Amino acid sequence: MQKAQCYANAVQEGIRTSRKKRYEYIVGLGLSGAAFIILGGATVHLLAKQPAFSPYEIKVAKNAARAASSGNGKVNNPTNVKSASATQSVKSCSISPMTDPLLVKSLNPSLRKLAEYEQLCAGAVTDTIMVFTGMPTDLAQASENATDMAATLKEFAKYGLHPLVVMEPTTSLGLINLEKFSQGYYDLALNAYYQKLKSQGITDTTMGTWVPFPESNIPEWGSTNPAQFGTNFVRAANIQKQHFPDSKISIILDSLSYPPGVLDWDGGAYVSLSSYLQAIPKGLVDSFGYQGFPWAAPAGEPFSNLDAAKFLKPDLAKEAAEILGTKNIWLNTGTYKTFYSTNLAKRVEASAELRAQILASIMSQAEWLKSRGFTVTISLFAENKTGTAEDVDWSYWTGSDPSGPHADVLKSFLADLKSKSIGFWLFDSL
């Protein structure tokens, strides 16, 4: 345990010193020549100095902490994993015919990447793609951000796809003031933002699903105060509903929680999420998002955490969904091809068989929730982040050719999801 905690602390300290970015803007031209925003692909780093961690940096730290707190100290070693039947007699993994042959030419890099998944399965694999945006704090930002987002939403609608919009409490200058948000300081800007979206032709349907203040039970935003989260989430959701009453709202919390006031990454534990949800009226949200990722210790070291029963504990998700009064749960997760990808001394590679085993454990958690009467979706993070702050490759193939043993594993997993009536959403980008 002591050694595991050292690993967790070392990883966290490395993240603290790197702080490469908070979120990324991808600027592409919309149909009218306007710019639009989405996470992934070619990036423009607008935040030169950030006080917060990126979602991907957090993955590394929080899963290290999970490994340290799991207590079993067992190594999940690819050489000890029984061969999975990932490539045997794979059934169809498409849910419908291909979205559109022109998807490969979309203005949006995530949608162009989706075309590769459709090539893998010879048809559509999902109708929902995750995107990220910040929050406006003044009228100028509201107008600019809404114009950009409107172009993105229209591009999704063009191909009949739904965005899952993760709305982070950030601006180009850093984090917003959460206390001020609670007091209504940003209400005018947020109202103007949604008014601008509507004036740009965005409807309740094209809005998709929005997720304000994501992962607020971890120290990412400088606060883990459940009461403050509840106040801010309800405020943001109600403002959205004023302008788009039939649009969808969701919450995402991490499987690992940090007590109020604890901003050190060593303080997390698997506990009930109820304190973050009690202030949220039943019926306000359409779904509950629950996040957990595997973590690999450096090469030759123990205490990896690759079992979804530990990093994606389903009983906590069940309780949370019941508190919120929703029967819809989405699990935000992924599997890695390499950890510490550019560090040859630490680099860890996962075989296709190991990734199949991790996906099988994720599937087991989804099936457990489904057996309890929930509609379950796997939201898969699958972007190659080699060379960035977290230095992890979450992808299943190299380049634009969706082939090879890792692609075969994903293909089998998608076919299993289809056969078991478990949904699939995606984040990936060129």
Per residue in 221-250, pLDDT tens?
999 999 999 999 999 999 999 999 999 999
Q: For residue 52, what pLDDT is reported? A: 35
Give mean pLDDT, residues 49-72: 40
Per residue in 141-161, pLDDT tens?
999 999 999 999 999 999 999
Give mean pLDDT, residues 100-118: 94
Question: How high is the mean pLDDT of the chain?
Answer: 83
Q: For residue 65, what pLDDT is reported? A: 43
Q: Which phi and psi angles does 165 have, rounded to 5°?
A: -95, 110
Q: Which phi and psi angles does 140 have, rounded to 5°?
A: -65, -45
Give mean pLDDT, residues 284-293: 97
Q: How confident is the model at residue 253 (pLDDT cuts 50, 70, 90)?
A: very high
Supply the pTM of this predicted model: 0.82
Q: How confident is the model at residue 331 (pLDDT cuts 50, 70, 90)?
A: very high
Residue 46 has pLDDT above 70, yes or no: no
Fill in the DSSP letter of residue 205: H
CB-based contact 385:332 (threshold 8 Å) = no
Bridge partner list, 25:
44
Q: How confident is the model at residue 20 (pLDDT cuts 50, 70, 90)?
A: very low
- Residue 165 half-sphere exposure, CB side, CA atoms within 13 Å? 26
CA 306 to chain centre: 18
- Tell me the angle at which helices 314-324 and 352-371 cross, rounded to the nearest 10 degrees: 40
Rounded Cα distance between 250 and 253, Å, is 10
**C-alpha closest to that of 386 among 397, 395, 374:** 395
Residue 74 has pLDDT above 60, yes or no: no
Rounded Cα distance between 423 and 293, Å, is 18
User: Could you give all domains of the chain from N- to C-terminal order, each with its CATH number?
Assistant: 2-74+97-427 (3.20.20.80)
Burial degree of 366 (CB within 10 A; 0-12, 13-18, 19+): buried
Give mean pLDDT, residues 377-403: 95
Residue 388 has pLDDT above 60, yes or no: yes
